[in-house]
Amino acid sequence: MTARAQTSGEAGVLILAATPIGSLDDAPPRLAAELAAADVIAAEDTRRLHRLATAVGVPLRARVVSYFEGNEARRTPELVEALRAGQRVVLVTDAGMPSVSDPGYRLVAATVEAGIKVTAVPGPSAVLTALALSGLPVDRFCFEGFLPRKAGERAQRLRDLADERRTMVFFEAPHRLAASLDAMIAAFGDGRAAAVCRELTKTYEEVRRGPLGELAAWARDGVRGEITVVVGGAPVAAPDAADDAELARRVAAQVETGVSKRDAIAAVAKAAGIPKRVVYAAAVAKPD
């Protein structure tokens, strides 16, 4: 795409408005002001928008349209035309910043392509809130969003992250949490430090910290609410950091997810920072 400068002229402006991730008391004053000044409000859930507007004391005078995963491709051109016509369009999702694991990226890209101004109302973020509460290193981190739903794809994604040194942040659905933590154990080992953050800023907020093995055991009883998982980055391992029994266990855990023994050995060796021959020797020394 050719580089474009953001211009205003007669065009309108797109405002990405962050909304509270839990307590509506976290809504910033500017959010109320932008909702009141909007010509069009595109909302992931229009019912939630009306509850939010009531909570912040704003009577909605704007045209309200739905904008969610199922209709964003069709609705984006309509919203860009409204912007071209000089209208002020506010985009809100159910919680947090639009386009971060929520609808919005397609509209932002189309608005930027049209040379129309895009700005944001900053606000609560589940990613940063969970990261700060986790107790894990925050100087370098990466956001991985939701893991794939299919077990094989999820295992592959995590194997790709096995040697990631930065702290990792994931979103997860409560009914898939236990399976995802088990897959993380297969990829990272059960001793990797992590935190499960549940219902952030809500009445029943809970942050569980500990090694992945302990968190997975806890999650098997069932967990409810909005979930954010924070996992420590891979340690810089010395060649002898894991004994043969531990290396064999890691290989076996990968094989149990459907990975070939050869690929499992390669993944464990890469994560541990040791030669594949060392992991191979440990794996073959223990009977299957």
Q: What is the CATH number of the domain that holds 38?
A: 3.40.1010.10
Q: Is the pLDDT of residue 187 over 80?
A: yes
Calpha distance 218→229 (Å, rounded): 14
Residues 114 and 67 in one domain: yes
For residue 115, tell me if it sits in a domain. Answer: yes
Q: Compute φ and ψ for 243, nearest 5 degrees.
A: -80, 175
Residues 33 and 91 in one domain: yes
Residues 111 and 161 in one domain: no
Q: Which residue has the tokens 């205003």?
A: 8
Residues 171 and 220 in one domain: yes
Model confidence at 287, pLDDT cuts 50, 70, 90, reads low
Residues 101 and 139 in one domain: no
**Are 58 and 32 in contact, with CB atoms under 8 Å apart?**
yes
Residues 136 and 159 in one domain: yes
What's residue 136's pLDDT? 96
Residues 85-115 have pLDDT tens digits of 999 999 999 999 999 888 999 999 999 999 9
Structural domain of 39: 13-124
Higher pLDDT, 257 or 49: 49
Residues 125-160 have pLDDT tens digits of 899 999 999 999 999 999 999 999 999 999 999 999
**Closest to 144 (Cα-Cα) out of 178, 172, 175:** 172
DSSP states along 220-276:
TT---S-EEEEEPPPP---TTSS-HHHHHHHHHHHHHTT--HHHHHHHHHHHHTS-H
Calpha distance 246→278 (Å, rounded): 12
Residues 208 and 255 in one domain: no
Residues 19 and 119 in one domain: yes
Residues 48 and 134 in one domain: no
In this prediction, residues 50-79 reach a mean pLDDT of: 95
Q: Is the pLDDT of residue 5 over 50?
A: no
Residues 103 and 163 in one domain: no
Model confidence at 241, pLDDT cuts 50, 70, 90, reads low
What's residue 156's pLDDT? 94
For residue 5, tell me if it sits in a domain. Answer: no
Q: Which residue has the tokens 């895009």?
A: 118
Last residue of a domain, one of 94, 124, 154: 124
Q: Across all residues in the chain, what is the average pLDDT?
A: 90
Look at the chain and report how many structural domains it folds into: 3
Residues 85 and 185 in one domain: no
CA angle 223-225-231, nearest 5°?
70
